[in-house]
Amino acid sequence: MTQTGPEILACPWPASGSDRRRAGRGLLSVVIPCHNEEEVIAATHARLAAVLPATGMDFEIVYVDDGSRDGTLRGLEAIAAHDPRAVVIELARNFGQQAAMSAGLAAARGDAIVITDADLQDPPEVIPEMVRRWREGVDVAYGRRRHRDGETAFKLVTASLFHRLFASLIPYPMPVDTGDFKLIDRAVADAVNALPEKRRYLRSLVPWAGFRHEPVWYDRHARAAGTTKYSPWKLLKLAGDALVLSSDAPVRLTWVAAAGLGAIGIVSGSMAIVAQLTAAAPRPGVSLAAVTAVVATVAAVQTAAVAIVGEYVVRAYREAQGRPTWVVRRTLGRERATTGSSRAA
Ligand code: UDP
Ligand code: MG
């Protein structure tokens, strides 16, 4: 039926994203990457289902099963069978947390999207406060940790040092003492989803996009159940990946090493010449140990420089291969939208 002018006036256009945001309506998506979380997943869903109505928004919970080998997928299937607000994306294998979060972000339909872990370390009760900040006009309401329970002293110290080093090295403002727990506006999600890069570190891609960021302070709890999926080695790899993906500092560091070694060479060479010229009798040669030390140091720095360049070359090669960041095996709760999809960018 064709509408006439007065009818159009009587029938308002659908509210835009920003109208819905001011009115506090619209859809809230919660994205949860899950890898071997069978002990906790039912409790996580129950807590979210109890808390999210307090936001006053409709909501969907997008679980991404990242190649779990335990009963996580069965647990998620049971959740999806009973709750139409749950969407389950089963990845074809374990692609890693960054890929799982990216898959969830791409599938989320919300006007605002919360990313959180499956283990209840980030209390769902903070989400209504994040939504409140979003309504006030904040585009990224990120959880900033006041306390962190259940972590070793080693992890607390290394994480704190790494966050500060990382923030000082990347060329845009980067919040510290924060993880993946955050709410982002649709426009931020669209900007991040549109990035063509395959290997993704979302903690720096969201700040890269810009927009208005504000912290929401909270206390991070210990895991509700299960164990961490990150060994110290896996954490170290993630930290290295994050640095190389987000910053040119490692390559620049090789210039600093080259300049330092060059300065040592010039100073010690000059000293040797002066000593020979001013000595009454010719001096004996340097010891083998001293020569070995110098050669080994120079070789180590040169090898490190080549290795750093190699890290960038490998990443450039991977991007050129253009393989998708993740592959979906099956989607529950929203068959038509995502069946057979993989990251198309
Ligand atoms: N995770 C994932 N894929 C992985 C490893 C972890 O999806 O390969 C998920 C995991 O299920 C959890 C979140 O990422 O929801 C954070 O993992 P974890 O709690 O083990 O990390 P921690 O909090 O100990 O740093
Ligand atoms: Mg955790």
Report how far ligand 1's centroid is from the alpha carbon of 117 (Å). 7
DSSP 125: G
pLDDT in tens, 175-212: 888 889 999 999 999 999 999 998 899 999 999 999 99
Tokens of 270: 């000059």
Ligand 1 contact via 117 beta carbon (within 6 Å): yes
User: Does residue 6 have a pLDDT over 60?
Assistant: no
Residue 159 Cα, ligand 2 centroid: separation in angstroms? 14
| pLDDT at residue 296, as a whole number | 81
- Which residue's entry shows tokens 């923030």? 167
- Binding site membership of 122 for ligand 1 (Cβ less than 6 Å): no
Angle at CA of residue 51, ends 222 and 47, nearest 5°: 45
Six-digit token pair at 119?
């283990």
pLDDT tens digits along 313-335: 888 888 888 889 999 999 998 75
Q: How many Cα atoms occupy the beta-carbon half-sphere of 239 within 13 Å?
A: 19
Most confident of 86-90, 229-233, 249-253: 86-90
- Give yes or no for residue 229 CB within 6 A of ligand 1: yes
Ligand 1 binding pocket includes 33 (Cβ within 6 Å): yes
Output the CA 216–ligand 2 centroid distance in Å: 19
The ligand placed nearest to the CA atom of residue 66 is 1
Give the number of the atom of ligand 1 that is nearest the alpha carbon of residue 101: 7
Q: Which is the closest atom of ligand 1 to the Cα of 32?
A: 15
Pocket test for ligand 1, best of 89, 93, 117 (most atoms within 8 A of CB): 117
Confidence band of 292 (pLDDT split at 50, 70, 90) = confident
Q: What are the structure tokens assigned to 73, written together? A: 């997928």
What is the spatial distance between Cα 123 and Cα 101, in angstroms, rounded to a whole number? 18
